[in-house]
Amino acid sequence: MEAFDLLGQAQVQAEDEPRTFAAVYYNAVEEPIAADFLARLLQLADPEREGIPLKAAYARTIADRLVRSGWYDPVVAAYEVWKAKILAYQQGAE
């Protein structure tokens, strides 16, 4: 739970205006998407099995919203993954 608290307090920069990750998450995911997702999930006969494609569809919706709103850039994300892999390789080689 401590990790979630830290993440929620993390600051993100948006057009020279810092916001908490929690605020970004609430505005981009929780408020517009979460209630509908949970309602549809609970209507399924077997949510654990049938919910997999539903979760995938909502994940795509969230990613699209984040890209359109400027909160997620796939190029930057790929670069950050690449940097993390290089760092992990370098640390393993030492």
Query: Does position 94 have pLDDT exceeding 70, yes or no?
Result: no
Tell me the pLDDT band of 14, cut-offs 50, 70 and 90.
Answer: low
| Of the ranges 25-34, 44-53, 68-77, the best mean pLDDT one | 44-53
| Tally of structural domains, the chain | 1
Mean pLDDT of 40-59: 94
Closest by Cα among 57, 65, 20 to 41: 57
pTM: 0.65
Identify the sign of the CA torsion 78, 25, 37, 52: positive
Structural domain of residue 48, as residue ranges? Answer: 2-93
Confidence of residue 53 (pLDDT cuts 50, 70, 90): very high
**Considering the chain, what percentage of its residues have pLDDT values greater than 70?**
95
- CA–CA gap between residue 76 and residue 20 (Å, rounded): 20
